[in-house]
Amino acid sequence: MQLETLVEQFQKKNEKAFESLYHMYKDSMHGVIYNIVKDKAIAEEVMQDVFIKAWHSSDSYNSSKGRFFTWILNISRNAAIDKTRSKAFKNSGKNLDATFFVDIIESNENLNSKTDAIGIKKFVSKLKEKCIKVIELLYFKGYTQKEASETLEMPIGTIKTRNRNCINELRQMIVE
């Protein structure tokens, strides 16, 4: 089924459409969430919250405002970041800055069961430090260009082109 049709059905509260969308995006969203919370049980919990929120706020999505992927990505990142700010999470003593997404992928045993996993693993091991940081901040953490520019001490224009070049490299690795 076309994504547009599926999203329309989902907005009409069609449970099947909701499930289909869940299965399309669950793994990528789980990856993004896990990269922020760094804990499997908490990531499961956030996943539930994200898709329940998506169901209840389906009216707020509009294709002219962005991709459905981007919409669910925003909900996921926000829910995960909210979780890290909770008191219970802070008490768990997680060191959130210790690892980036690349470290997770490189140590990820679950990759074997996935398509493109080998290509991505190869990619991230070769990925330049500057790419890792840009993708980590913009994609996984949802930083604005300005925030990323300040964090990495780079001009905004450089962030933008570097992000494109790094994602291009990723795309080529996946295609190979």
Partner 1 sequence: MDTKAYIDTGILELYVSGQLSEKENKEVYDKMLEHPEILQEVLEIESALMKLGEAVSPGLSASTIQIIKERLNFNSDNGKVVNMPKSRSNWFTYTGWAAAILVGAGLLWSINQNKQLEVQLSDANVEKSYLETQIEDAKSDLAKTENLLSILRDRDIIAVPLGGQGNFENAYAKVYWNKADNSIYLDGQGLPDAPEGKVWQVWSLTLNPLTPTSLGTIDNFNTDDNKIFEIVNTNESQAFGITLEPTGGSETPTMEQLYTLGVVSP
Rounded Cα distance between 73 and 79, Å, is 10
Stretch that binds partner 1, among 79-87, 90-98, 140-148 (CB under 8 A): 140-148
| Choice from 7, 79, 101, 133 touching partner 1 (CB under 8 A) | 101
- Contact flag: residue 69 with partner 1 (CB under 8 A): yes
Q: Please state, in angstroms and as integers, the Cα–Cα distance from residue 161 to each residue in 38, 80, 111, 134, 174, following that order.
A: 29, 27, 29, 10, 20
Q: Does 23 bind partner 1 (CB under 8 A)?
A: yes
Binds partner 1 (CB under 8 A): choice among 37, 83, 142, 149? 142
* Residue with tokens 């690349």, as numbered in its chain: 102
Where along the sequence are the contacts to partner 1 (CB under 8 A)? 1, 15-16, 19-20, 22-32, 34-35, 40, 43-44, 47-48, 51-52, 55, 63-67, 69-70, 73-74, 77, 101, 104-105, 108, 110-111, 113-114, 116-117, 120-121, 124, 135, 138-140, 142-145, 160-161, 163-164, 167, 170-171, 174
